Amino acid sequence: MRQVRRLSFVLLVVLASYLVAGLVGAAWAVNRDWRPPEQGVTIWVEDNGIHTDLVIPKHAAGVDWRPVFAGTALREPGYARFAHVAVGWGERGFFVGTPTWWDLRPGTVFAAALGSDDTVLHVEHVAQPVVGERVRAVVLTPAQYRALARVVRASLAAGDPVRGYAGHDAFYPAHGRYDALNTCNAWTGRALARAGVRVGRWTPFSAPVSWWL
């Protein structure tokens, strides 16, 4: 019992330290002088409470995602008529194995936190989002949008997509190693930072991604 208590104490310390480090990293902003332009390309950051997505137009500032994220990858290709895609990066087992939060298992979370090179982009064909508590709009210059697009494109790996949870989404093979330091939300924050947006230096959790937006 003593060893169990010690192990539990160590785990609590590790988790608390991780939480504090994540909050501090998000509170330390990069691109502090960033100001959104009056006109440009609007993107959105969606937060479902655990995971963040970038919602981007399919065709803007010389970037055309329609051939990349084609309707043929969808169970219901008609959804390709929507003008936007929601893109998020993450670990394949976590993404593919958890269609709803009711399907989430501690083992899945633990395995992803330890690290995996098997990552995917989850791409949903969607209508323009409505700004709300969990949806933030961000206006970028055309050059900033192209910088953001380069991050998304660089995350795509060779290989065929796999149809997703419903008729409007698919999973694409991705580059990058997922672990507790490089989470799906850290990927979102890094993409925004590369575009020049003011955002936390390290954003492993979902809510802090939007702190500076």
| Segment 66-110, tens digit of pLDDT | 999 999 999 999 999 999 999 999 998 877 766 555 555 665 566
Q: Which amino acid is at 162?
A: V
Q: In Å, what is the CA distance from 191 to each residue of 70, 183, 210?
A: 22, 12, 13
Length of the chain counted residue by residue: 213
pLDDT in tens, 105-154: 665 566 556 778 999 999 999 999 999 999 999 999 999 999 999 999 99
Contact assessment for residue 139 and residue 36, using Cβ atoms and an 8 Å cutoff: yes
Number of domains in the chain: 1
Burial class of 39 by CB neighbour count within 10 A (0 to 12, 13 to 18, 19+): exposed
CA pair distance 37, 203, nearest whole angstrom = 24
Which residue is listed with tokens 């006109």? 39
What does pTM read for this prediction?
0.89
Q: Residue 75: name the closest of 145, 135, 19, 123 by CA.
A: 123
Three-state secondary structure string covering 157-196: CCCCCEECCCCCEEEEEECCCECCCCCHHHHHHHHHHHCC
Q: What domain range is 142 assigned to? A: 2-210
The span from the CA of 199 to the CA of 202, in Å, is 9
